[in-house]
Amino acid sequence: MFQLDLKSRESIYEQIINQMKELIITGILKEDEKLPSVRELSKILTVNPNTVQKAYRELERQGYVYTVAGLGCFAASIADVKRDEAAIAQLTETLRTTLRQLTYLGFSKDEIDALLMTLLQEDQQKTEELKKGSEHI
Amino acid sequence: MFQLDLKSRESIYEQIINQMKELIITGILKEDEKLPSVRELSKILTVNPNTVQKAYRELERQGYVYTVAGLGCFAASIADVKRDEAAIAQLTETLRTTLRQLTYLGFSKDEIDALLMTLLQEDQQKTEELKKGSEHI
Amino acid sequence: MFQLDLKSRESIYEQIINQMKELIITGILKEDEKLPSVRELSKILTVNPNTVQKAYRELERQGYVYTVAGLGCFAASIADVKRDEAAIAQLTETLRTTLRQLTYLGFSKDEIDALLMTLLQEDQQKTEELKKGSEHI
Amino acid sequence: MFQLDLKSRESIYEQIINQMKELIITGILKEDEKLPSVRELSKILTVNPNTVQKAYRELERQGYVYTVAGLGCFAASIADVKRDEAAIAQLTETLRTTLRQLTYLGFSKDEIDALLMTLLQEDQQKTEELKKGSEHI
DNA sequence: GTGGTCTAGACCACT
DNA sequence: GTGGTCTAGACCACA
């Protein structure tokens, strides 16, 4: 279910956040469905409970899950996911910088265009596959 | 000449690297032209010399500059740095991840498309301006 | 009769306490009227009986209800609970802290004033409605 | 400078957050002024560095401070403080509930009005005093 | 059982 | 030196 890469530059709690987002956005984790408990997931991933806790807290802050003390953490409605303007601004800035770097490396507009189209298609396909996968359950 | 943003998430040495790359690739810093010395630049930017040193080392590692002991650091040939496959792979991965995050935030393909078009146009304009600017020198 | 919000920050037993207080003070639950049993209410609300138990205990401690062993829990005289100085002090402290937090967020005195007026009016209306509702019984 | 109350129901990191907000909002900590380092403050308060860290991170998230890795944490412009809608909604809800409770305890609208006026005035005075105090430094 | 907070260490990248 | 992340424990309130 989860694939952690300890060697990755992405920190563990960020990997947990992103993979959990994937499960929620694609509907594999349905609205109001319970997430594994902090302790449970920490055992599965063999990481410290605090690390999982940190990820869950951030997911709650961003509106992906909601917490009921004593009961656990549950997937929120996708509609509740906050379009955090700060996060969007940061992602936009990352895109801007990255595109700029490609230009520095001598990529023409058309080459960048082609690359982006490929990546976007890839992204859409991945989303579709995950959604289909969850329907079969 | 340099614009450092201490509040940015991007670390200072990365900002120096990226802006120096810009100067080199756009030809504002011509081949074999001397870069400011580590001490000089650190004074201009009011940052720690170690930070500038680290940026220069990384620029050398990536082939953007070469160092002559006792003389200083010089801009390398643009041909030497173009099409750095490792760099391209990394930038592609960054794009992939960033697009995925936007999808997580509920962005539709069309919205992402629109955003990318805007950014690309911005990038092209900036490139044009820099080229014109360097021709006048 | 009861509206529990699991997603609320307010713990479940506190929600039960507050709503039970509302029923008692507005006279919907009249003096010496029997409250639903712990087991009954826990089934209705689909919560753990311990949670209801805890709420009832706290209501008893604050004088809102009294317990007769073997018979159940009954609404106390409203006179017994009014003007609980400890409770008032605590609520005042909560107000003080909350107003301060609004100031931290940059709210001007006028903005806070306006907000309070709105809330007070809301509160008065709700009180009126409840009183009318209970007269008809 | 700081007053921690270990017995308080307010957690330590929340106390740090609130007191730091006070220092920033009142201008005692001026824009771009450095906060004590995580380790330094943890020693002063004899709490764990992680606890201070948690407070600083939250302050950054809310826009009260900005962080430069390797340099430290700095007071942000008050204009940058984010009017976090979720936080405002929560504070409003707290006010609503608290006013309701006072009504339950038999307070008339006029009594609540009077109490609120007193608290508001208190709050304004405190803010004024802190601002004056910082001017004298 | 659950999440929330805290302590006491440790290692890393950056300045 | 700085903040950022992580581990390995512990205690608390709540369900």
d(CA C81, C1' E2) / Å: 34
Q: How close D92 comes to chain B (CA, Å)?
A: 27
pLDDT band at B82 (very low <50, low <70, confident <90, very high): low
Cβ contacts of C11 on chain A, cutoff 8 Å: 69-70
Percent of chain D having pLDDT more than 90? Answer: 59
Identify the pLDDT of residue A119: 95
Q: Which residue has the higher pLDDT, D132 or A53?
A: A53
Q: How close D71 comes to chain A (CA, Å)?
A: 22
Identify the pLDDT of residue A136: 55
Q: What is the mean pLDDT of residues B114-127?
A: 93
To probe the interface with C, which of D15, D82, D100, D127 has the most C CB atoms within 10 Å? Answer: D100
DSSP-derived pairing of the beta strands D72-75 and D65-68: antiparallel
For CA atoms A46, A50, A56, A59, the dihedral sign is: negative
Tens-place pLDDT, residues D38-71: 999 999 999 999 999 999 999 999 999 999 989 9
pLDDT of residue C121 exceeding 60: yes
Q: Which residue has the higher pLDDT, C53 or B10?
A: C53
| Protein residues closer than 7 Å by CB to strand F | A 11-14, 47-51, 54, 68-71; C 11-14, 47-48, 50-51, 54; D 35, 37-40, 49-50, 53, 56-57, 60, 67, 69-73
Tens-place pLDDT, residues A3-38: 899 888 889 999 999 999 989 988 889 999 999 999
Mean of all residue pLDDT scores within chain C: 88
Q: Are A99 and B123 in contact (CB under 8 A)?
A: yes
A134: tokens are: 């969850």
**Contact at CB, D106 and C21, closer than 8 angstroms:** no
Tens-place pLDDT, residues A64-99: 999 998 899 999 998 888 777 878 888 998 899 899
Q: What is the mean pLDDT of residues B92-103?
A: 90
Q: Which residues pair with C65 in a beta bridge?
A: C75
Mean of all residue pLDDT scores within chain B: 88
Nearest to B10 by CA among A55, A93, D77: A93
| Ordered alpha helix ranges (H), chain C | 12-25, 38-45, 49-61, 78-81, 85-104, 109-135
Q: Chain B residue closest to A93 (CA)? A: B119
In the numeric block, the tokens 């349905």 are attached to: A30
Identify the pLDDT of residue D135: 64
The whole-model pTM stands at 0.87
DSSP-derived pairing of the beta strands D65-68 and C65-68: unpaired
Q: Are D35 and D77 in contact (CB under 8 A)?
A: no
pLDDT of residue D84 exceeding 60: yes
- Which amino acid does the sequence have at D66? Y
Least confident of A106-115, A125-134, C52-61, C62-71: A125-134
For residues B39 and A95, give the distance between their C-alpha atoms in angstroms, rounded to a whole number. Answer: 32
Tens-place pLDDT, residues C81-98: 766 787 788 889 889 989
pLDDT band at B26 (very low <50, low <70, confident <90, very high): confident
Identify the pLDDT of residue C82: 65
Q: What is the mean pLDDT of residues C65-72?
A: 91
Q: Chain B residue closest to D69 (CA)? A: B11
Nearest to C103 by CA among C115, C117, C121: C115
pLDDT band at D117 (very low <50, low <70, confident <90, very high): very high
Residue nearest to nucleotide E15 (CA to C1'): D70
pLDDT band at B136 (very low <50, low <70, confident <90, very high): low
| Protein residues closer than 7 Å by CB to strand E | A 35, 37-40, 49-50, 53, 56-57, 60, 67, 69-73; B 11-14, 47-48, 50-51, 54; D 11-14, 47-51, 54, 68-71
pLDDT band at D105 (very low <50, low <70, confident <90, very high): confident
For residues B111 and A123, give the distance between their C-alpha atoms in angstroms, rounded to a whole number. Answer: 14
pLDDT band at D97 (very low <50, low <70, confident <90, very high): confident
Query: Burial letters for B97-118: b for 16+ Cβ neighbours within 10 Å, e otherwise?
Result: ebbbbbbbbebeeeebeebbee
Least confident of B6-10, B49-53, B82-86: B82-86
Identify the pLDDT of residue C136: 59
pLDDT of residue A121 exceeding 60: yes
- Which amino acid does the sequence have at A17? I
Q: Which residue has the higher pLDDT, A126 or A84?
A: A126
Cβ contacts of D25 on chain C, cutoff 8 Å: 103-104, 106
pLDDT of residue D118 exceeding 60: yes
Cβ contacts of D124 on chain C, cutoff 8 Å: 109
Identify the pLDDT of residue C36: 94
